[in-house]
Amino acid sequence: MPSWPTGQVCRMTGVSSRTLRHYHRIGLLRPSAVGPGGVRHYGPAELLRLQRILLMRGLGLALADIAAVLDADRDPAGALRVHLRDLLAERDRVDTLVTTVRRTLAALEEEGTMGDLDPGTLFAGFDTAAYTDRARTQWPDEWAQAARAAEGRTPADWDAERAEQAAQLGRMAAHLAAGRPVTDPLVQAEVHEHYLRITRMWTPDADAFAHLGRVYAEEGAWREVHEAVAPGLADYQCEAMAAYALERLDVRGDRT
């Protein structure tokens, strides 16, 4: 049975030897053999397991969850079919997101502002499941409040919400272009309108509102759309929301 030493595996996969040592130490990926000098060797079965580890890491799974999946699974081919299905779904989502950002860029380059950009397509391709799970865990009461508010909303309500969000991005981009600091009263007035719009669904305290700003600034769909509207807008929005939270909010919501 062929096997490959650590150095060759690192070159083939792009995984560092330190990572392989860590996987060995936690029992996630054991080498097929350890040669003279402690050099680890990996056979075909280990490389297949490593491929699955990397696939699941790419889908965002934690190492402990990956270990549980691998240890419980006795059908590698079936598992790879599931991974392939998930990867194809992710590819479709990313393709949609790329189209969304290109459409936003085209509208901005043509109009110089948000113009007649369709807000219904501005956020197509977003995967908000991670943010939804985080909100449900960290702010269960607020999550329940938002869920109740969403039940009574019509498609027209959601269209109006997207239109307001698109317009807000355009106004914040204008403040950024004008060089206004995030503490400028005009900027903070815009953030206040954003806060009031959010309170239609739930009432964030200072921590939750600042965290929402950090979500906008994270690498991902939210950041990409903000940056498509104007480079630097994601961080600008995040900093403006943090300043608002510090000045205007406490643990129970709006002070004013």
pTM of the predicted model as reported, rounded to 2 decimal places: 0.51
Is the predicted pLDDT of residue 255 greater than 50, yes or no? Answer: no
Selection from 162, 187, 192 nearest residue 174 by Cα: 187
Q: Average pLDDT in the 219-240 region?
A: 85
Over 50: is that where the pLDDT of 253 sits?
no
- Residue that the structure tokens 């509207």 belong to: 229
Q: Which amino acid is at 172?
A: M
Q: Which CATH class is domain 4-71?
A: mainly alpha
- When mean pLDDT is compared over 54-68, 140-154, 194-208, the highest value belongs to 194-208
Phi and psi angles of residue 154, each rounded to the nearest 5 degrees, phi first: -100, 165
Between 164 and 33, the higher pLDDT residue: 33
DSSP, collapsed to helix, strand or coil, labels residue 94 as helix
Q: Is the pLDDT of residue 227 over 50?
A: yes
Task: With CA atoms as reference, report the closest residue to 189 among 146, 247, 122.
Answer: 247
Handedness of CA 188, 189, 191, 195 (dihedral sign): positive
Residue 54, C-beta contacts closer than 8 angstroms, at least 6 positions apart: 13, 15
How do residues 15-50 score in pLDDT, each as one tens digit? 999 999 999 999 999 999 998 888 999 999 899 889
Rg (CA), the chain: 23
Please answer whether residues 39 and 3 qualify as being in contact, where contact means their C-beta atoms are separated by less than 8 angstroms.
Answer: no
| More confident site: 127 or 193 | 193
Token pair 């270990």 is found at 67
Mean pLDDT for the chain overall: 79
Do 69 and 57 meet the contact criterion of CB atoms below 8 Å apart? no
The per-residue pLDDT for range 96-113, each reduced to its tens digit, is: 666 666 666 666 666 554
Nearest by Cα to 224 from 134, 111, 96: 96
Domain boundaries of the chain, sorted by first residue = 4-71, 76-121, 154-250
> DSSP assignment, residue 200?
T
pLDDT of residue 183 exceeding 90 = yes
Confidence band of 127 (pLDDT split at 50, 70, 90): low
pLDDT of res. 254: 47
- Report the distance separating Cα 217 and Cα 203, nearest Å: 21
- pLDDT above 70 as % of the chain: 73
Distance from CA of residue 92 to its chain's centroid? 16
CA separation for the pair 256, 238 (Å, rounded): 21
The CATH classification of domain 154-250, taken from the options 1.10.490.50, 1.20.5.510, 3.60.40.10, 1.10.580.10: 1.10.490.50
Side chain identity at residue 142, one-letter code: E
Q: 126 pLDDT exceeds 60?
A: no
| Residue 67 CB neighbour total at 10 angstroms | 18
* CA–CA distances in Å: residue 84 to residues 51, 69, 80: 12, 16, 6
Give Dmax (Cα) for the chain: 72
Under DSSP, the state recorded for 11 is: H
pLDDT over threshold 50, residue 256: no
> Do 238 and 194 touch, CB atoms closer than 8 A?
no
136-152 pLDDT, tens digit each: 666 677 667 666 776 77
Q: Say if residue 125's pLDDT is above 70.
A: no
Instruction: Say yes or no: do domains 4-71 and 154-250 share a fold.
Output: no
Phi, psi of 89 (to 5 degrees): -65, -40
State mean pLDDT over 164-193: 91
